[in-house]
Amino acid sequence: MSGTITFTMIKPDAVEANNIGPILSMINKAGFRINAMKYLKLSREDAGKFYAVHKERPFYGELVDYMSSGPIVAAVLSKENAVADFRKLIGATDPTKADEGTIRKLFAKSIAANAVHGSDSDENAAIEASFFFSSLERN
Chain positions 50 to 109 lying near ligand IDP, rule: CB under 6 A, are: 54, 59, 62-63, 93
Q: How many residues bind ligand IDP (CB under 6 A)?
A: 10
CA distance 41 to 20: 14
**Binding ligand IDP by CB under 6 A: which of 7, 19, 117, 128?**
117
Closest CA to 38 of 78, 76, 6, 89: 76
H/E element holding 130?
A: helix 122-132
Q: Among 127, 30, 120, 113, which Cα is nearest to 72's?
A: 113
Q: Taking CB under 5 A as the rule, which mask of x and - marks residues 100-139 in contact with Mg ion?
A: --------------------x-------------------
Minimum distance of ligand IDP from residue 135's CB (angstroms)? 25
